[in-house]
Amino acid sequence: MKRLISYSFILVLFLSSCKIFSQFNEAKEFASCYFIINNSRIIELGGYDFSEVENINDIGLTEMFGLGQKIIIGELDAIASVSISATNNGKEKAAINGLYWQLFIKGVQYGKGELLDYIEVLPGEEVHFTVNTNFDISKLLKSEDLDAIFDLISDMENQEKLKRLEVKIKVKPLYKSGGSIKEYPSFITIKP
C-alpha cells in the first residue's frame, strides 16, 4: 500500500511538472509570435468622451474651453485604446494568462498597466487584443505643438503618425505555474 501511495505521489508530481513546463512553452511560443499595433485611439481626453471624434471640428466649444484650461494648468489626462494583433507562425499553440504592458512615445514612458485575460493563438492564426492606458498627454505637449496633438488625436489609426511619434508598447507575458502567476523573463516590443 505504501508503494502504491508513493507511485501515485510521483505520478501526480510528474504530471503537474509537465503542465507547468507546457504552460511556460506556450508563453515562450507567444513571445515568438509576430506582433503589430493595428491602431491607437484616444477615447477620453480631459474627462471628455472622444470616442466619436474624427476631426477637430467634432469638438464642441465647451469641450475646447475645458481642454484649454486643462492645458494651461498642465494636467491633460487621456485614455488611449491600443489594438494589437498577434500572429502565430509557429507549429505549437501560443498562450498566456495575461500581460504587463508599458506605452512609450518618443522613448518616454507614458502609461502602463496589466491585462489579465487569457490569450490563445493557435498555429497559423491571428488574434487581436486591446489594452487601454491612462496617461498625462500634457507631457507630450511639451515636445509637440498643439496642432500636431489634435491631428494625432483625430487620426491615431494612421500608421505613419504612430511611427513618427515612435509609439511602441512593451509587453511582458504572464503564465500560470502550478497555482501561481509567473512573469515571462523579458519584454516584447510591439511597434506600428
Could you tell me the pLDDT band of residue 63, with boundaries at 50, 70 and 90?
A: confident
Which of helix, strand or coil describes residue 159? helix
Residue 70 C-alpha cell reads as 486643462
Structural domain boundaries enclosing 76: 2-190
- Whether 14 shows a pLDDT value over 50: the answer reads no
CA angle 55, 57, 59 (to 5 degrees): 90
Please compute, for residue 15, the number of CA atoms within 13 A of its CA located in the half-sphere on the CB side. 6
Q: Give the three-class secondary structure for 137.
A: coil
- Taking CA atoms, 144 is separated from 23, 46, 167, in Å, by 43, 18, 14
3-class SS of residue 8:
helix
Note the pTM of the prediction, 2 decimals: 0.75
Q: How many domains does the chain have?
A: 1
Long-range contact pairs involving 185-192 (C-beta distance under 8 Å, separation at least 24): 186/31, 187/102, 188/31, 188/35, 190/35, 190/36, 190/37, 190/84, 191/36, 191/37, 191/163, 191/167, 192/36, 192/37, 192/159, 192/162, 192/163, 192/167
pLDDT for position 10? 45
Question: If you count them, how many residues does the chain have?
Answer: 192
Confidence of residue 119 (pLDDT cuts 50, 70, 90): very high
Task: Quickly state the pLDDT bin for 11 (edges 50, 70, 90).
Answer: very low
Residue 169 sits at φ, ψ, to 5 deg, of -120, 135
